[in-house]
Amino acid sequence: MNEAQNWNKLKGLRVGEHVHLDHYIPNPPPPGSGAWLDIIAELSTRLLKWKGAWTVSIPVGTLSQLPKTFLTPPELLREVDSKNVTEPPAVYRLRNVLTPSTWEGEHHRWQRLLQPSVMEVISMSRSRQEAAAGDDFTAAIVLEVRSSP
């Protein structure tokens, strides 16, 4: 089965489901690797064509302090400690409606519009317990793809 056929399997995800992307490409890069950025860019083009609401999350590592300025994904990858990243990127099929955040903790989000219907997000968060303990922020690169059916 070729890579395009593997990507097309994602199209069948139902709202509320998610899958890890390392199962959909041959020889996937390790979790937290910058090599995922090009793969995710290709996938976002497909997700736009498939319509609906999709989120792709790439866990990239931890930061001891928040950056003082906006970082691009390659800059973030240079700043994070990625040695403990074990989870590969995942794609989520969502409802095409906004829902309130239920996160209880510290969350910082920088975003930029890459193209109509595709938002790139740099996310840094930690729970209240992690903040109280002085733990690092967990960093991720997120693509939010929202296109009308």
Q: Residue 3: pLDDT band by 50, 70, 90 thresholds?
A: low
Instruction: Determine the average pLDDT of the residues in 111-130.
Output: 92
Whether residue 145 contacts residue 54, with contact meaning beta carbons closer than 8 Å, is answered with yes
Note the pLDDT tens digit of each residue in 50-109.
888 999 999 999 999 999 899 999 999 999 999 999 999 999 998 876 666 666 778 888
Q: How many residues does the chain have?
A: 149
What's residue 4's pLDDT?
61
Token pair of 8, please? 């097309």
Note the pLDDT tens digit of each residue in 28-39.
999 999 999 999
**Residue 146: closest CA among 103, 99, 98:** 98
Q: Residue 1: pLDDT band by 50, 70, 90 thresholds?
A: very low
Angle at 103 between CA 97 and CA 108, to 5 degrees: 95
Looking at every residue in the chain, the average pLDDT score rounds to 89
As a whole number of angstroms, the distance between CA 64 and CA 80 comes to 9
